[in-house]
Amino acid sequence: MRHIISVLMENEPGALSRVVGLFSQRNYNIDSLTVAPTEDQSLSRLTLTTSGDDARVEQITKHLNKIIDVVKLVDLTEGAHIERELMLIKVKAVGAQRAEVKRSVDIFRGQIVDLTANVFTIQLAGTGDKLDAFIAALGDNVVLEVARTGVSGISRGEKTLAL
Amino acid sequence: MDQLSGGEMLIRALHDEGVEILFGYPGGAVLHIYDAIFHQDKVEHILVRHEQAATHAADGYARATGKPGVVLVTSGPGATNAVTGIATAYMDSIPMIIISGQVESRMIGTDGFQETDMVGISRPVVKHSFMVREAKDIPGIVKKAFHIATTGRPGPVVIDIPKDATDPKVKQDYEYPKEVKLRSYAVPAKGHSGQIKKAVDALLTAKRPMIYTGGGVIQGEGSDQLTKLTKKLGFPITNTLMGLGAYPASDKQFLGMLGMHGTYEANMAMHYCDVLLGIGVRFDDRVTNSDTSKFCPDATILHVDIDPASISKTVTADVPIVGAVATVLEEMTDQIGKSDKAVDKQALEVWWNQIEQWREKDCLNIRPSEDGVILPQQVVKAVYEITKGEAYVSSDVGQHQMFAAQYYGFEKPRRWINSGGLGTMGFGFPAAMGVQFAFPDAISVCITGEGSFLMNQQEFATCMQYQLPVKIICLNNQALGMVKQWQDMQYGGRYSHSTYAESLPDFSKLAEAYGHVGIKIEKADELYSKLEEAFALKDKLVFVDVLVDPNEHVYPMAIKGGAMKDMVLSKTERT
């Protein structure tokens, strides 16, 4: 099963490599990874998606907790949560294609954030599935470049991951 | 407040932390630190002859005393040479501090001379690591490093120090912090009382109980509590390779070591038990025999460990208890005393009768050869008798290690010093040095094989410099015995690169070349007298080269892919 694990860790050099290293060392998967400092500059928030059965994910969270730089973590998929991924995508847009692509962007509630005579650069946020669906909707031979951030997430309601 | 350079701060901080001895080897990046060592006499530095030996010596010191071992090495090759020793300590949860020099900060990342990314290269085999940025951070980092290395599940911690951070010209205020603040590191202390109650209920309803304990009981100083609990319950107990000595080997409730080369009775009792209490163990593959689906098929598994990640890692625990072993065992004993249930004495008697039948097999019986060839088991037994079971015994890795574990009965914790997890050849001799530094008047014996010994023989020189009277008992079978045994059993006797008889040195002469004493033993009838002669030389290092039967195998031996009850018992018998 797919899990989204959010980790608060010390914003220190080397902390990220400890987390990433753990996954390769113990043969765990990382499907996506996103990390940035939080409002508290001494902390970074890292969100990763991984997959495995319950026993495996339990081991993953235990081993993450053992890393000295890891302050706190939560498996967001254990409860109600919101997940988003941001995609910047460059597509071919010439002639009649321009209107066609624009329509798709509107349907998916994306935005065209840059354009040239031949190319649109589109920003789209949503779940991974939605981004996949958008790419599929564009059809073949249109996509020039894709930059996705990986999943970020937060739990619903009043639950927080904070110190 | 004293004004100190970074190098001076480091050594002062070690002293403030209670460090009396460190093992190391100088080089460019640590010269400022070595100059600081020169100017003081509070912390003794031991010059080894290879950085790997420094880590093993510190490790042996740590295992024997319970105090952290401290290592100082230079950057680059000094640091990489230390990695095997760090990994050895990591696998066996040994508290160790490794201080490595680093090139100057401005040179980092330029592939400078003797530069290596020590924090990176050691990352998978340390509990934590620190890279010093500025000299003023040194006292705080040292404090944190010792705290992390010695608490919870202990382990090695690396402190990497760029040369400029130890510059003797830059002096700053020194103050050693009184306490550690780490918001992300908490040590589990007590076990959960509700969980302990569940375990107690299971123990008191057991018909065929078994206690299985490991290195965690030794590291967690829980030996007395374990003995008390085990006696109170009257249950059979077995120790892992790492756990030997936690329970007195001579006691009748002790079934010997379990696992790949464990006793018949211990492995049988494991397989058929209905309640298994695992304490400070990690259900590793040398115990469970890799296929965990066949492991203790009828047992309710109670697992006590300080490391939550060890619980349900390979075998699912029915009752997990996370906590310090000693306190959990104390509470368990208390709760048993207060429980309205009691041990099922009748069932236990039936169970013991069964165990006694298994015991009658006498699986470690030594059958001396008629032609005077010395069996390796006889040597260990003789060493045990001559040292009255009081020695600190270190070992390397292979057949001799298993013979030592099987035939030297350890009555006390911290007497058996071996690399159980990583299985590092070359560990034994430097570890025995570390033990001897810790206890100058004790007998420090290294039971080794000629293959392992050759991996760190250079330490003969260290022993001469510091006059260490270590006793080395080399079970010389002129081959990599355990490799050869597997080749006998699984590869049709094809000895691919496991023999080298024609190129072995004369070990007694080698010892003598360094100024030590060498004794050679070739016949069974001179075994006792010559060993006694060796141990009588109390102030000398003696290398005893014992020519043993090259065809001997270690038995019992688990059958690969089988359950714990499946064992080879001799060259002709299996279960």
pTM for this predicted structure: 0.96
Q: pLDDT for B9-41, tens place per residue?
A: 999 999 999 999 999 999 999 999 999 999 999
Residue B103 CB-half CA count within 13 A: 14
With contact defined as beta carbons under 8 Å apart, do A147 and A88 qualify? yes
Confidence of residue B1 (pLDDT cuts 50, 70, 90): confident
Whether A123 shows a pLDDT value over 90: the answer reads: yes
Q: Give mean pLDDT, residues B335-352.
A: 96
CB pairs under 8 A between A and B: 38
Question: Choosing among B184, B314, B316, which should be mutated to test the A contact, i.e. which has the most A CBs within 10 A?
Answer: B184
Closest CA to B68 of B77, B76, B59: B59
Interface residue B314 vs chain A (CB under 8 A) = no
Cβ distance B182 to A68 less than 8 Å, yes or no, reads yes
Residue B526: HSE in the Cβ half-sphere, 13 Å Cα cutoff:
13
Query: Is the CB of B185 inside 8 Å of chain A's CB atoms?
Result: yes
A14–chain B Cβ distance below 8 A for any pair = yes
Nearest CA distance, A63 vs chain B (angstrom):
6
Please report the pLDDT score of residue B291 as a whole number: 86
How close A94 gets to chain B, by Cα (Å)? 47
> Helices (DSSP H) in A28-124: which residue ranges?
54-66, 96-107
Cβ contact, residue pair A68, B128, below 8 Å: yes
Minimum Cα–Cα distance from B144: chain A residue: A68
Quote the ipTM score.
0.93
B123 contacts chain A (CB < 8 A)? yes
Q: Which of A25, A55, A68 sits opposite B184 (nearest CB)?
A: A68
- Mean pLDDT of the region B451-461: 98
Question: Can you give B527-557 as a three-state secondary structure string?
Answer: HHHHHHHHHHCCCCCEEEEEEECCCCCCCCE
Q: Are B333 and B229 in contact (CB under 8 A)?
A: yes
Q: What is the pLDDT of residue B285?
A: 93
The per-residue pLDDT for range A66-120, each reduced to its tens digit, is 999 999 999 999 999 999 999 999 999 999 999 999 999 999 999 999 999 999 9
Chain A residues in contact with B121 (beta carbon < 8 A): none
Residue B448 C-alpha, separation from nearest chain A C-alpha, in angstroms? 32
- Whether A43 and chain B come into contact, CB under 8 Å, resolves to no
pLDDT digits (tens, 9 = 90+) for B109-132: 999 999 999 999 999 999 999 999
**Closest by Cβ to A55, choosing from B124, B184, B312:** B312
| pLDDT cut 90: percent of chain B above it | 97
Contact B124 A17 (CB under 8 A): no
CB contact under 8 A, A18 and B123: yes
Are A63 and B309 a contacting pair at CB < 8 A? yes
Residue in B closest to A7 by C-alpha: B184
What's the mean pLDDT in A115-141? 95
| Pairing mode of beta strands B300-305, B319-322 | parallel
Verify whether the Cβ–Cβ distance A68 to B124 is below 8 Å: no
Q: Are B30 and B73 in contact (CB under 8 A)?
A: yes
Q: Hey, is B288 helix, strand or coil? A: helix
* B chain contacts of residue A55, beta-carbon cutoff 8 Å: 312, 316
Q: How far is A59 from chain B (nearest CA, A)?
A: 6
Whether B187 shows a pLDDT value over 90: the answer reads: no
Q: Min CA distance, B550 vs chain A (Å)?
A: 38
DSSP state of B499: B
Per-position DSSP letters for B266-285, written without gaps between them: HHHHHHH-SEEEEES----H
Mean pLDDT, chain B, integer? 97
Res. B369 pLDDT band, cuts 50 70 90 = confident
3-state secondary structure of B86: helix
Q: Chain B closest CA to A24's CA: distance in Å?
A: 10
Identify all chain A residues contacting B183, using CB atoms and an 8 Å cutoff: 71, 163
Q: Are strands A43-51 and A32-37 parallel, antiparallel or unpaired?
A: antiparallel
Nearest CA in chain B to A10: B184
Write down the pLDDT at residue B479.
98
* DSSP secondary structure letter of residue A91: E
Residue B188: pLDDT band with limits 50, 70, 90: confident
All residues at 6 or more sequence positions from B70 whose CB lies less than 8 Å from its CB, including other chains: B14, B19, B21, B22, B23, B58, B96, B97, B99
**Tens digits of per-residue pLDDT, B242-293?**
999 999 999 999 999 999 999 999 999 999 999 999 999 999 999 998 789 9
CB-based contact B47:B22 (threshold 8 Å): no
Chain B residue closest to A54 (CA)?
B312
The closest CB to that of B184, out of A13, A62, A70, belongs to A70
Interchain CB contact of B148 with A (< 8 Å): yes
Contact A3, A75 (CB under 8 A): yes
The pLDDT of residue A13 is 87
Q: B184 and A69 in contact by Cβ < 8 A?
A: yes
Tokens standing for B447? 């039971």
**Residues of B taking part in catalysis:** 51, 113-114, 163, 482
